[in-house]
A and B are shown apart, each in its own frame.
Chain A
Amino acid sequence: KAGVTQTPRYLIKTRGQQVTLSCSPISGHRSVSWYQQTPGQGLQFLFEYFSETQRNKGNFPGRFSGRQFSNSRSEMNVSTLELGDSALYLCASSTSRGDIAGYTFGSGTRLTVV
């Protein structure tokens, strides 16, 4: 079966711009979580969506937002980009909120802010 699909794979943006990243979960998966991966901080939790509702949020500023659609696809948006937002953004999906064993990661979107 198809894995978690994240688009685009690479993105270069300028400071102050905004960006939208997309995540299509595995078919049948309804929970989608987002993580930011940087060399210094490792993976940090951004937010979790289930049934189109944000269920949990990490410690990131309000410039980071997300949403989930009725088909479980999710988008995250970062407004007013800063250099420090350069990172690999990972999406993970699972069938439900309790299905942590089935948590599957996508390959990520590499965002570079210049």
Chain B
Amino acid sequence: AQSVSQHNHHVILSEAASLELGCNYSYGGTVNLFWYVQYPGQHLQLLLKYFSGDPLVKGIKGFEAEFIKSKFSFNLRKPSVQWSDTAEYFCAVNLGTGNQFYFGTGTSLTVIP
């Protein structure tokens, strides 16, 4: 079945550690890729997006993601996390037809000061 997979359900890091969250999808054809973040008690916010062009995309708050088409992956990275990055992170795919998004089940990140 077509899906979006996030391999890490819970990640705990110390401040200043590097972060990489995995995301793989199984949809063929054109895909638009997104990472959203949900801070505790807040609404989902867009971190970054990829439509086309440079496969390395930079988002807000120092986050970046790399699209690797051959691996159907769109991993999220940050060189040095902060306590304020504690949140849940969702990878999402849009197939370019309409506004339906397919989300991964999310990764809960806890950053220890």
Contact with B along A2-24 (1 / 0, CB 8 A): 01100000000000000000000
Pair B106/A42 contact, Cβ less than 8 Å = yes
Q: A42-B103, A42-B104, A42-B106 are in contact. Are A97 and B98 (CB under 8 A)?
A: yes
Number of interface residues of B (CB under 8 A): 22
Q: Does B100 contact A (CB under 8 A)?
A: yes
Pair A106/B100 contact, Cβ less than 8 Å = no
Q: Does A105 contact B (CB under 8 A)?
A: yes
| CA A58 to CA B99, docked complex, whole Å | 12
A-B contact pairs, 8 of them (CB 8 A): A43-B92, A43-B101, A43-B106, A56-B99, A100-B94, A100-B101, A101-B46, A106-B43
Pair A103/B101 contact, Cβ less than 8 Å = yes
Contact with A along B28-61 (1 / 0, CB 8 A): 0000101010000011111001010000000000
